[in-house]
Amino acid sequence: MKKYHLLYLLSALLLAGFTSCEDMLTEKPNSSYDKDGYFDSEAKAEMAIMGIYSSISDKDHYGWCEMAAPASDDTYYTSRTHSDNQVHDIAHYRINSTNTWVENLWKFKYQAIDRANMAIDGIRHMTGYEENKKLKALEAEARFLRAFMAFDLVKYWGDVPFKTTYSESYESAYQPRASRETIYDEIIADLTFAKENTEWATAGSDPERVTQGAARALLMRVYLQRAGYSLQMDGKLTRPEEGKRKEYFNAVIEEWKAFQANGYHDFHPRGYDTLFKDISYGTQNPKETLWEISFFTCKASAMAAHGEYTTDLW
């Protein structure tokens, strides 16, 4: 009998030991966050916004590939004629569906949109969101960036897959094409929210963060683009009927009136050459520059660290 009692005791001790080891070895990773419990402070919400910027400023997006996409004109020209399935093929009209630079643009635009979707949803569900102007401003920034990426997609490809919810699974990531008109409606809604929940720039503003002027200016571009001709999937060029075009043009005029009423934004008083030199020296100028994409990252390569173009003025 003592033998069986001893066996039971040893079994219980071993079980307790295994349980203790399991508890000791089960650690919560401190290098990543769980989405459901992440959005619990303004600081973390701002980190989520920085994640969107990171997708946009990546070397394989606006850090390089995006800026060289119009390589068939004087914006970016290469005289080398060998095929590389990258920029040289773009410059010499030999682009195909496997071009890696085009693939990068597609990939990073959707990555940025998905990160924006996650940030927007997370911020909206934070405690005190309705009364918190800071959280509203962060959501506005995320919605501006989502609109900026969606506008790129429509300009380049027309009808494309698009959604405003975060991809929580592999299956939810893939969607059918959406009408460009539906996407335009979402872009305008995002930019309207952005302009209503951000402040106008001042002399002390950081032009690398979204302001009301940037939101209104992008909205003007969207209205003008939407009012013009658009190449449809069947190869035909169409444009909105005249009543709609007039509506879009009037909306542009109203946004311009807002700029005039605010009165801050204007050309550099000493001309573009001074503006260019100031930016080269690292002197920011939010008066003429409505928004800048900063390309500095912590990546190892020199090109990734500084961007092929230092900064994108907008």
Region 205-219: mean pLDDT is 96
Model confidence over 160-207: pLDDT tens digits?
Answer: 999 999 998 888 888 899 999 999 999 999 999 999 999 999 999 999
**Per-chain mean pLDDT for the chain:** 85
Higher pLDDT residue, 249 or 23? 249
230 strand-pairing partners: 238
All structural domains of the chain, each given as residue ranges with its CATH number in brackets, are 41-313 (1.25.40.390)
Lowest model confidence (mean pLDDT) among 33-42, 51-60, 128-137, 243-252: 33-42
Can you give the pLDDT at residue 106?
A: 95
Closest Cα to residue 141, out of 213, 201, 194, 187? 194
DSSP reduced 3-state for 124: helix
The yes-or-no verdict on residue 282 having pLDDT over 60 is yes
Closest Cα to residue 285, out of 301, 298, 266? 266
Can you give the pLDDT at residue 295?
A: 77
Residue 313, by phi and psi: left (phi above 0), alpha (psi -120 to 50) or beta? beta
Higher pLDDT residue, 275 or 111? 111
Which of the residue ranges 58-62, 142-146, 285-289, 297-301 has the most confident prediction, judged by mean pLDDT?
142-146
